[in-house]
Structure 1
Amino acid sequence: MLPPHDALVAELSELIAIPSVSADPAHAGDLARAADWVAARIRGAGGEVEILERTGRPLVLGEVPASRSDAPAVLAYAHLDVQPPDPLELWESDPWTLTERDGLLVGRGVADDKAHLFMLLKATELLAAAGELPVTVRFMIDAEEEVGGHAVCDWAAEDSGPASAAVILDGGYATATLPAFCTALRGICFFHVSARTGERDLHSGMAGGGALNASEALLRSLTAVLPGPGGRLPEPLRAGIIPPTDSEVASWSALPSGAEELEAQGARPADATAADEFFVRTTAEPSVSVNGIESGSPHLQKTVLPVEAHANVSIRLAPGQSAAEIAPVFERLLRGAAPPGTTLEVVLRSTGEPAYIDPESSAVQLGLDAFEHVLGTRPILTRSGGSIPVVATIAARGVPAIVTGFSRPTAQMHSPNENIPAGAISEGLGTIVELLRRFGALA
């Protein structure tokens, strides 16, 4: 049923050739061209489509009806925008020309996220053309994922259409040979904190030991939200977390060890047990990071007591938590630890909600069965320490989602020579066809 490899590569090449860089206003026309290309495929599959421009970039919304009446509906997400190709001199071939070499397909956006977008479109088209599409596929294709846009999230939150499940193809394998479903992602609250302790900087010889120091006052405030000796945050910041299931924890044993993960990133463990608890700490627990700090004159021999100190500090929210509940607790802890006489300003600059997908849901189980049937390997269930806003939006609606992909850890996404295994095109397409078939059993 699947077209030959060369035909699939030729069609995908058309999309790769469009330099749909969302970060560069000079490519606004290319974003529109890519949106038109996607819209044409949805119409070609027998669907209806519209292109909205909520924030100056296109959002493609389309629907291809099922081949039978009373069928369930499935949301389908991928994004059509890509990162800039720079530095061009490090590419071994033209970034906008899909090139096959050494068993790989190489080109900007092939792994993140155009091959996945192509798989969703082509799988729907093939099933619809055969009169065998068992679900109505409702596309929501983003053109601002790479610049942190929220148009698709706003639409998904407002949408009242049917959705028994969602397929979000914006990810990849856990290892070179192990497919993965992401069932939880962390959220974030990002704060800017400023401490002021007087009218002006003071001479450390004249006032040191007697006057407040803004650097020290800020550090004492931050200590109240940082982890204790066991690596866990204070209990008020852990409220509401959904712990990983036994099956999730067991599946993580198939991943590289925490020590290997840290070494691969050139990092050092935070404490004696951090490597052993790496996946729990980075995906299932909240974490606080001091992202930047500034006070006084750290590069000059200037013996003063700084009157001002500033820090950017963020907390990654664990699945089950919410920004509305944790942000005020975070601020209360900071203020409670500030030394008397400190004027502390706490500004919440941005938030993102965590997401949790029940791994026992029928949609996830059908997805695991479909992937195992085609790939011969049952996907591992993983959590992500980062955030995908659209997943959180969909999860908040109670819609179970399959969050996955077919790229590999060596994909070099956001870097020169971005790639995906050549065989992943047919492999992924066949798997998504089987996934949609099995989703026909959803209520």
Structure 2
Amino acid sequence: MADPHGYIDRHFARFQEELFEFLRIPSVSARREHDPDTRRAAGWLADRLRELGLAVSIEETRGHPIVVGEWREAGPGAPTVLVYGHYDVQPPEPLELWTTPPFEPAVRDGRIYARGSVDDKGQLYLHVKALEAHLRTTGRIPVNLLFLAEGEEEVGSANLMPFVESDADRLACDAIVISDTSMFGPDVPTIGASLRGLAYFQIDVQGPAHDLHSGTYGGAVANPATALARILASFHDEEGRIQIPDFYDDVNPAPEFVRQIRTLDFDEREFLEETGAPALVGEAGYTALERLWVRPTCEVNGLLSGYTGEGSKTVLPARAMAKVSCRLVPDQRPERIRVLFEQHVHRVAPKGVTVQVHYLHGGLPWRARLGGPLYEAAERALERAFGRRPVYAGEGGSIPIVPEFERVLGAPVLLMGFGLPGANAHAPDEWFDVENFRKGTHAAAA
């Protein structure tokens, strides 16, 4: 009897070796010297899809190419599912913190260590192998399947949505599946229920025309570093609540989702231990998970001012700069937060300095419309692969293309990730659990 799942288990060692080939390609989209490698990764993925009989095209953009694969043999009356992923990866630095080279995959303690293993080559490729398991056994699947893989996710996906909008008819689908997120914990299959949005800013504070001697001028000339510190300190009160006027006006409290969150088995002490921080903090009156999934934040991401070299240099700096990001939740919008943020910064800016606020980029938050055939099928597939029903969980980060997909294509998005907490995506020693690669392939094939 044709059995796709038996096929997966028999051929899994080969699947893993193929993934290693994919991971050896240093497709770092942020670095121009890796442009040929990024194109090579697109070609490698396109070849694997062609081997399965898909109609494949490599679509040129102003940046890195987009790979589109189409299997439409289920017929016009069958539903169409689009699988999205990305073949580009983060820069591997700092290289000295990797146990083994980032583009030489190594298996240790049941984990595949390599840049891109979990984000997102491994999670994307398991869908390719799930399709192979069906086509090599039963010869078909009950849905039409589209693959859409981009090479710019790690640098903002600037060319993805223009392509999707221009080819919306070709990409028309009934559901969108993305595996680029994490499970709630080991052996806990997870469906993503929410993503936070983003509004990202740079604050520039200018004082004197050039650095001054802090003894000759200090006390009479405003210090941009001190002014910036006062601005940043104004963002929160003692209880961790954001003090930008009207910031919370559009926050959807999501009481139903909060009730689900409180049923999850989450150990805040273990979470604290993972961070290495001395204590958990945040907005008073909320659990750590609620702060991560249903509450917005305002975080300083970087600071620069004055002399930071070895030893001492008594200067009054001419400039100070901070990078600040606001994570947003439904129904906040980055355009509105931009206005509120800029107004607040200019209102609290001390005299004696010039302050400029630059809006760098942003993205909408998202919350899944749970229920219906798509989520019921996902629950069954994950239960079959992992032996237990999945949980619904939020994600503190942002995937801006998720709400954009729903807006342009009019289809619901399913986030079905197989990473694990602590998998070091974007950091040295990134890893993907071998069993999750196998079970994820089974879930995608179910």
Equivalent residues in 2 for 1:40-55, closer than 5 Å: 40-55=47-62
Aligned residues: 431
Q: Give secondary structure in 1 for the equivalent of 2:48.
A: helix
**8 Å contact kept, 1:21–1:83:** no
Provide the rounded CA distance (Å) in 1 between the counterparts of 2:298 and 2:101. 41
1:22 to 20, 24, 27: 27
Indicate how the Cα distance of structure 1 residues 177 and 204 shifts in structure 2: closer, same or farther if over 3 A, else same: same
**8 Å contact kept, 2:306–2:320:** yes
Indicate how the Cα distance of structure 1 residues 344 and 102 shifts in structure 2: closer, same or farther if over 3 A, else same: closer
- Matched letter for residue 394 of structure 1: F
Q: Give secondary structure in 1 for the equivalent of 2:118.
A: helix
Corresponding position: 1:230 with 2:249 = no
The Cα of 1:108 is off from its aligned counterpart by 4.7
1:356 to 367, 374, 390: 367
Equivalent residues in 2 for 1:8-407, closer than 5 Å: 8-18=12-22, 19-23=24-28, 24-83=31-90, 87=95, 90-91=98-99, 95-96=103-104, 102-128=109-135, 130-161=138-169, 162-197=172-207, 212-224=222-234, 226-234=235-243, 235-251=245-261, 253-269=263-279, 271=281, 277-297=287-307, 300=312, 302=314, 304=316, 308-340=319-351, 342-360=353-371, 362-397=373-408, 398-407=410-419
Provide the rounded CA distance (Å) in 2 between the counterparts of 1:419 and 1:270. 26
Provide the rounded CA distance (Å) in 2 between the counterparts of 1:346 and 1:245. 35
Q: Give secondary structure in 1 for the equivalent of 2:17.
A: helix
Indicate how the Cα distance of structure 1 residues 286 and 421 shifts in structure 2: closer, same or farther if over 3 A, else same: closer
The Cα of 1:391 is off from its aligned counterpart by 2.0
Q: Give secondary structure in 2 for the equivalent of 1:237.
A: coil
TM-score, length-normalised on structure 1?
A: 0.83
What is the RMSD of the two structures over their aligned residues, measured on CA atoms? 3.4
**8 Å contact kept, 1:259–1:275:** no
- Matched letter for residue 338 of structure 1: A
- Matched letter for residue 20 of structure 1: I
Indicate how the Cα distance of structure 1 residues 295 and 270 shifts in structure 2: closer, same or farther if over 3 A, else same: farther
Corresponding position: 1:7 with 2:16 = no
User: Which moves more between the two structures, 212-221 or 43-52?
Assistant: 212-221
Structure 1 unaligned blocks of 5 or more? 435-443
Provide the rounded CA distance (Å) in 2 between the counterparts of 1:104 and 1:217. 47
Indicate how the Cα distance of structure 1 residues 26 and 307 shifts in structure 2: closer, same or farther if over 3 A, else same: closer
Structure 2 unaligned blocks of 5 or more? none
- Matched letter for residue 185 of structure 1: L
Q: Give secondary structure in 1 for the equivalent of 2:369.
A: coil
- Matched letter for residue 131 of structure 2: T
Indicate how the Cα distance of structure 1 residues 52 and 209 shifts in structure 2: closer, same or farther if over 3 A, else same: same
Deviations 1:272-317 (A, max 9, x none): 866962222223222112223344457746375x554332222222
Provide the rounded CA distance (Å) in 1 between the counterparts of 2:104 and 2:220. 64
The Cα of 1:179 is off from its aligned counterpart by 1.6
Q: Name the % identity.
A: 30
Provide the rounded CA distance (Å) in 2 between the counterparts of 1:103 and 1:431. 19
TM-score, length-normalised on structure 2?
A: 0.83
Provide the rounded CA distance (Å) in 1 between the counterparts of 2:427 and 2:219. 50
**8 Å contact kept, 1:174–1:255:** no
Deviations 1:361-387 (A, max 9, x none): 542343223312432222222222212
- Matched letter for residue 51 of structure 1: I
